[in-house]
Amino acid sequence: MRKRLPKHDHLVRLQGRIDDIHQRWTPDGSLAVVASLVIHRPHLGAPRANIVDEQPMPLRAIGGLAEQLVKYQGQDITVEGTLRRRYYSRDGEKRWGQVEIWVDVCSPKN
């Protein structure tokens, strides 16, 4: 599914393995997905040689894109999307934020 991306400065294109998918349903009955895109981190030299070279990036998608991500579980894909910061709070605790990639396009890695 290819869709024209809006012109913004906060667009990203990443390649990695889709993992840790959690399916949810929106109030209107649409499928929503929260997942991780596991990308490779660059080597940072000898002091960090024993550090894991993978980094999970949080993804969100709804509708047809959510369905595509579910089908790609465990596969290498290319994702294009928009960076958004979401805020969370629980039981009166202070809010905290996380930057997520809201998926606009996803496809198998070429």
Residue-wise pLDDT tens digits, 19-35 = 999 998 888 888 899 99
5 belongs to a structural domain? no
Tell whether 96 is covered by a domain: yes
Q: Would residue 66 count as lying in a domain?
A: yes
Assigned token pair, 27: 């109030």
Between residues 9 and 74, the one the model is more confident about: 74
pLDDT score of 7 more than 70: no
State the pLDDT at residue 53.
78
Element holding 96 (H helix, E strand): strand 96-108
pLDDT for residue 45 is more than 90: no
Residue 45 domain-assigned (yes or no): no
CATH of residue 104's domain is 2.40.50.140
- In whole angstroms, what is the distance from residue 44 CA to residue 9 CA? 27
Looking at residue 55, its pLDDT comes to 85
Strand partners, 11: 82
Q: What is the pTM of this model?
A: 0.74
Domain count, the chain: 1
Is 15 inside a domain boundary? yes
Is 25 a member of any domain?
A: yes
In a domain, 94, yes or no: yes
Q: For residue 96, give its domain range.
A: 11-40+51-108
The verdict on residue 3 lying in a domain is no
User: Between 86 and 82, where is the model more confident?
Assistant: 82
Chain mean pLDDT for the chain? 83
Angle at the Cα of 59 from the Cα atoms of 50 and 45, rounded to 5 degrees? 20
Pinpoint the alpha helices (H) of 1-110: 63-71
